[in-house]
Every structure is written in structure tokens, then in C-alpha cells.
Amino acid sequence: MRTLIATLAFAILLSGCSRQKIIGPRDLCSQLTAAISLASETETFLDYVAQHRSTGNFAAGHIAYLSQTAADAAKDLHHFTPTYSIEQQVTQSRQQLDALASQLAALQRQAARGETPAAAKDHFAQLRHSLEQIKAGL
């Protein structure tokens, strides 16, 4: 009898933990706002670095922070199941967040080598604009 109760308790516990996370328009809007902010912060920071107003260590550390934040946000968005009404926007958002995380990871590698290309700012501006368009379509 104890084994049966333990087995049932374990099955209930597993079923409770395996629920899908659903994302709706409001939550996606919040995710997009955070991603837009991250892209904007990156643009501003690249201006700051281009003006030689940052030490190399601070620049590398801050870019590492931005990169990790973007990677975490992209990973989180992939764990959600979208409501039917926003499937396309979630797919587009995932693509743009993946691109943002990838660009920041590349920038992090360049910063570790002491490089901070000015052209990188344009990539982040384009990503920010794409995210803004997705958000406007919600």
C-alpha cells in the first residue's frame, strides 16, 4: 500500500512539474520591451565605448553582462508555448532574440580581444527596430 501511495504521489508531482508555460500577448509585449531596452542599452554603450569613455575591463564586463542577459531572455522565450493568436509574433520574436544574443556573444568575443567595431551599433539598431515592429503588431 505504501508503494502504491508513493508511486501515485510521485506521478502527481511529475505531472504538476511538466505543465507547459503559455505566453499571451501581454507577456510577449513585456518580453519585447525588455529586449528592445537591451538592444538600446547596447547601442548607447557602444557610443560610450567609441568615445573612449570606458576602460577596457569595464567594457568587456558590461558586454559580457549584456550578452548573458540576452542569452537568458532568448532561452526563456523558447520555453514558452504561444497562444494561437500570437504564434507568428512569438516565432519572429524568438528569431530576433536569438540574433540579439548571437550578436552580443560575438561582440563579447571581440571585446575580450580589445576590439569594439563601430559597425556593430548598426546591427543592434536594426535588431531593435525589428523588435519594435513586432511589438507594434501585437
Q: Report whether 36 contacts 132 (CB < 8 A).
A: yes
Q: Is 121 left (phi over 0), alpha (psi -120 to 50) or beta?
A: alpha
Is residue 9 in a domain? no
Residue 99 lies in a domain: yes
Residue 13 falls inside a structural domain: no
The pLDDT profile of the chain, 138 residues, written as one tens digit per residue, is 555 454 545 545 445 555 679 999 999 999 999 999 999 999 999 999 989 999 988 998 999 999 999 999 999 999 999 999 999 999 999 999 999 999 999 999 988 887 777 678 999 999 999 999 999 999
Domain extent at residue 56:
23-136
Number of domains comprising the chain: 1
Whether 39 is in a domain gets the answer yes
Q: Indicate whether 70 belongs to any domain.
A: yes
3-state secondary structure at position 50: helix
Torsion of CA 14, 20, 21, 23, to 10 degrees: -170
- Residue 18: inside a domain: no
The pLDDT value recorded for residue 115 is 78
Q: Please report the pLDDT score of residue 72 as a whole number.
A: 97
